[in-house]
Amino acid sequence: MQSLVVGGGCFWCVDAVFRQVEGVTASICGYAGGDTPDPDYRSVCTGLTGHYEVVRLEFDKSVIDADTVLDIFFTTHDPTSWGRQGHDAGSQYRSALMYENDEQRELFERAKERAASIWDVPIVTVVEPLKIFYEAEEYHQNYYARNPYTGYCMAVINPKISAARKRYAQYLRAS
């Protein structure tokens, strides 16, 4: 098993996409990157905690490799936008990769270089050390599956899943 912490805007979106990916055994929404201890959703949304909305992805590397996980990450959100993903705006929505060791840092930097070849403008994804990961409140976990017909899920998350399915069908579970 391998674990990566990624932030691609709203954690509901990242979580929903990766729950479709074969080999992903866990997707946990949370907060990381700031200095405020024990953040909650309300405090993170103020922009004052320094935390990002992130997802801890755990996956079986015998089924899917880290490079593919990161390629999916870079093509299912906009890594060229600072603090914004569509209508979601704020510092908590930054594109981020949080590494736990030098090997992950190098993995993330290589993934950014690959992603740069498919985007017309510079990638602004931050790559920084993971100090601590705080699990988000229960109602954020697996949000899409529990609320598929809300406006946000239909308008924002469904197109991301469709894009992932179109580009990475061989890695996604049958719907």
Average pLDDT along the chain, 175 residues, taken 10 residues at a time = 95 97 98 96 95 97 97 94 83 95 97 94 96 97 96 94 94 84
Q: How many domains does the chain have?
A: 1
Q: 153 is in which domain, residue-wise?
A: 2-171
Rg of the Cα trace of the chain?
15
DSSP H stretches of helix in the chain: 11-18, 41-45, 66-75, 102-116, 143-146, 151-152, 158-168
Which pTM value belongs to this model? 0.95
Q: 138-157 pLDDT, tens per residue?
A: 999 999 999 999 999 999 99
Instruction: Write the CB contacts of 87 (distance below 8 Å, at least 6 apart in sequence).
Output: 156
Dig out the tokens for 47 from the structure. Answer: 């922009």
Our answer to whether residue 153 is catalytic in this structure is no
The CATH number linked to 153 is 3.30.1060.10
Active site residue: 10, 13, 29, 153, which one? 10
